[in-house]
Structure 1
Amino acid sequence: MKATRYEGNKTFNVIEKDLEAPVKGDVRIKVAYSGVCGTDVHIYHGMMDKRVNIPITIGHEMSGTIDALGENVIGYEVGDKVVVRPLDDRGVKPSDKGFNHICEDLKFIGIDSPGSMQQYWNVPAFTLHKLRTATDLKLAALIEPLSVAVHDVRLSELKSGETAVILGGGPIGLLVAMVAKDTGANVIVSEVNPVRIAKAKDLGLDAVNPVKMDLIQYVKEKTEGRLADVVFEVAGVQPALDIMTEVAGIRGRIVMVAIHGEKKNVDLFKFFWKELKLIGARVYEKEDYEKSIQLITDNELHFEKLITDIQPLTKIQEVFENIDKKPDGLKILMDCQQ
């Protein structure tokens, strides 16, 4: 079988290795597609070299079919279409209060252990979600990032008729916007990249460039001065942090989707003045995956429009180099059987 390995120094290699039989409680998956995530790009840039065990096969957005079963695996059969919820929560403790998806000793599969950018992948059966027979495996590779969006919107308690502003129109931002709109909310995407603005509009979303237009005034006009009920901060940059408390209306909820590795300035006075709420949101739970599977299978939201390109696994180095050259793409899939 072929497998890719991140070797450090912006370098991937494609190697040949023997198939491994799944151990007790594991399954072997024939990986169909593996999506390139922003975290994968951070790994490529060396930003996570202190965390990942180099050399390592990365990847966690995937779809595939079960190829072999280890002992004591029940509920699955060879040939089942599946996706992996890449959270290894076997270190859960009582102090985690039952929130296994963010437990203190959580291991993220594809970062802390080998991932999906290989032809065959052995994983614990407890990470699996079975797909409907009709599910398109290309679209199914979007289930992991879509589950992030579903989780974010669920925690926001967004209701039909409310206004949601999404700060950042990258892959996750657009998925949040699509899920938010599907709940019946009025959605506005704030994004500076013209390619991504065009994609948002192609998806039927209201999108504006805050550099060229006064976002706060625009939201006021759309809401008769009430501003946003929910703001999703997905951009991860200081200007988004600056405007999130301005664009939120009285008792608005702000969902922190982006990862900020360092302390940032936030206008806490606005939280007092408008009784705002700040909601942290990290990865996903089982119910988010199940909803995402249904959304992908139905595909009424046209998720295929988010797939920028599909490339063979053997071109992994070229794929990551091209992402640096053209960072305004959305979702690139690796065809793991080529």
Structure 2
Amino acid sequence: MNNKATQYTGNKQFAVIDTQREEPGAGEVRIKVAYCGVCGTDVHIYHGMMDKRVDIPVTIGHEMSGVIDAIGPDVSGYAVGDRVVVRPLDNRAEKPSDKGFSHIAAGLKFIGIDSPGAMQQYWNVPAFTLHKLPADIDMKLAALTEPLAVACHDVRLSGLTAGETAVVLGGGPIGMLVALVAREAGGKVIISEMNPTRIALAEEMGFNVVNPAKTDLVEYVSEKTDGGLADVVFEVAGVQPTVDVMTEVAGIRGRIVMVAIHGQPRPVNLFKFFWKELKLIGARVYEPEDYDKAIALVSAGDLQLGRLVTSVAPLSGVQSVFEQIDANPDGMKVLLDCQA
């Protein structure tokens, strides 16, 4: 039985190949992948920024939804036909020194980067990575579970409570998901974003949006909060200007959540941490409860998630998908239809 799979082959090139569908091994299931989203990390791989980490040629992808197609030995609790998503963390190298936090264990492997991913028709994964989906869930939107779980983790670690003001620095895909989850938690959300298309989308979805190139963000937030400023700040953009403003826009005892990945050290105004008793919270990927929350939010259908799907393309169009993402910085989330 054939399996059509994409492969990153280096130098900004993808191939689509026919391989043999593999039987799942012990503790594994085979998933018929429905949809796979393209993540910012996937784009970094396309740009060659992770060539030293990935095993070229490699099938990537980790934002997905699918249906169990076959079950290997020693798997219980799942049946062929179950709708599932994968929490793509292989924590089998966890040690006592990781203190039980397997999602950030020193030996953690990320499935879809360090091992084959979901941009293919059929995908074998360890059963311990699975989360069941409701039978009536929209499988396109279910493919947003993984990035939505990132946002759930970020908001949960922030300690945001109803009525607090949250400022989201960056209105890209993750920033919008953080804003949606923060609003669902009862937060008063303000988004800082400079891209006109993303500003328009956020405003259409009911958010207060500030373009910091045109409006002083700190003054705006101060006016909205009677001088109290933000209770929580989510730094999602990952650039120096947002690092500079995060300590300015946070109010007394504000919590700053570092969502973005900064590949190098950055200057930070540490005086503000002393002066306002601020907290800086690191947040990386997700834990099982964040996946459960994300699935519940997708299933409830209240977050307007469909508006974040920019386009859907077949596996055969993978090369043009990545080229178009480069050419269209306005886009939000592109999905690959893995069975088209």
Q: TM-score normalized by structure 1?
A: 1.00
Aligned-residue offset at 1:168 = 0.2
Match of 1:97 among 96, 99, 111: 99
Match of 1:301 among 300, 303, 307: 303
> Is 1:193 the counterpart of 2:195 in the alignment?
yes
Aligned-residue offset at 1:204 = 1.1
Aligned-residue offset at 1:322 = 0.7
> Is 1:244 the counterpart of 2:226 in the alignment?
no
Alpha-carbon distance in 2 for matches of 1:260, 1:182: 28
Q: Secondary structure at the match of 1:152?
A: helix
Where do 1:14-33 residues align within 5 Å? 14-33=16-35
**1:173 matched residue in structure 2:** 175
Where do 1:138-217 residues align within 5 Å? 138-217=140-219
Q: Secondary structure at the match of 1:17?
A: strand
Aligned-residue offset at 1:247 = 0.2
Aligned-residue offset at 1:327 = 1.5
Q: One-letter code of the match for 1:273?
A: W
Aligned-residue offset at 1:326 = 0.6
Aligned-residue offset at 1:255 = 0.2
Aligned-residue offset at 1:70 = 0.2
Cα RMSD (Å) of the superposition? 0.4
Q: One-letter code of the match for 1:7?
A: T
Identity score, percent: 70
**2:50 matched residue in structure 1:** 48
Aligned-residue offset at 1:203 = 1.4
Match of 1:127 among 126, 129, 141: 129
In the TM superposition, what whole-angstrom CA distance separates every residue of 1:137-162 from its partner, at most 9, and x where no partner exists? Answer: 00000000000000000000000000
- Identify unmatched segments of 5+ residues in structure 1: none
In the TM superposition, what whole-angstrom CA distance separates every residue of 1:170-224 from its partner, at most 9, and x where no partner exists? Answer: 0000000000001111000000001111111121111110000010000001000
In the TM superposition, what whole-angstrom CA distance separates every residue of 1:279-310 from its partner, at most 9, and x where no partner exists? Answer: 00000000000000000001111110100000
Aligned-residue offset at 1:5 = 0.2
Aligned-residue offset at 1:57 = 0.1
Aligned-residue offset at 1:96 = 0.3
- Identify unmatched segments of 5+ residues in structure 2: none
**1:233 matched residue in structure 2:** 235
Q: Secondary structure at the match of 2:124?
A: strand
Alpha-carbon distance in 1 for matches of 2:21, 2:136: 28
Match of 2:328 among 326, 329, 335: 326
Alpha-carbon distance in 1 for matches of 2:76, 2:138: 24
Alpha-carbon distance in 2 for matches of 1:109, 1:328: 28
Aligned-residue offset at 1:240 = 0.2
Aligned-residue offset at 1:52 = 0.4
Where do 1:108-123 residues align within 5 Å? 108-123=110-125
Alpha-carbon distance in 1 for matches of 2:252, 2:294: 31
- The number of residue pairs the alignment matches comes to 338
In the TM superposition, what whole-angstrom CA distance separates every residue of 1:42-78 from its partner, at most 9, and x where no partner exists? Answer: 0000000010000000000000000000001100000
In the TM superposition, what whole-angstrom CA distance separates every residue of 1:235-255 from its partner, at most 9, and x where no partner exists? Answer: 000000000000000000000
Q: TM-score normalized by structure 2?
A: 0.99
In the TM superposition, what whole-angstrom CA distance separates every residue of 1:237-279 from its partner, at most 9, and x where no partner exists? Answer: 0000000000000000000000001000100000000000000
Aligned-residue offset at 1:330 = 0.1
**2:224 matched residue in structure 1:** 222
In the TM superposition, what whole-angstrom CA distance separates every residue of 1:90-143 from its partner, at most 9, and x where no partner exists? Answer: 000000000000000000000000000000000000000000111110000000
Q: Secondary structure at the match of 1:68?
A: strand
Match of 1:292 among 291, 294, 297: 294
Q: One-letter code of the match for 1:50?
A: K
Q: Secondary structure at the match of 1:196?
A: helix
Q: Secondary structure at the match of 2:70?
A: strand
Alpha-carbon distance in 1 for matches of 2:98, 2:254: 28
Structure 1 runs, 4 residues or longer, greater than 3 Å off: none
Q: Secondary structure at the match of 1:74?
A: coil
Q: One-letter code of the match for 1:249?
A: G
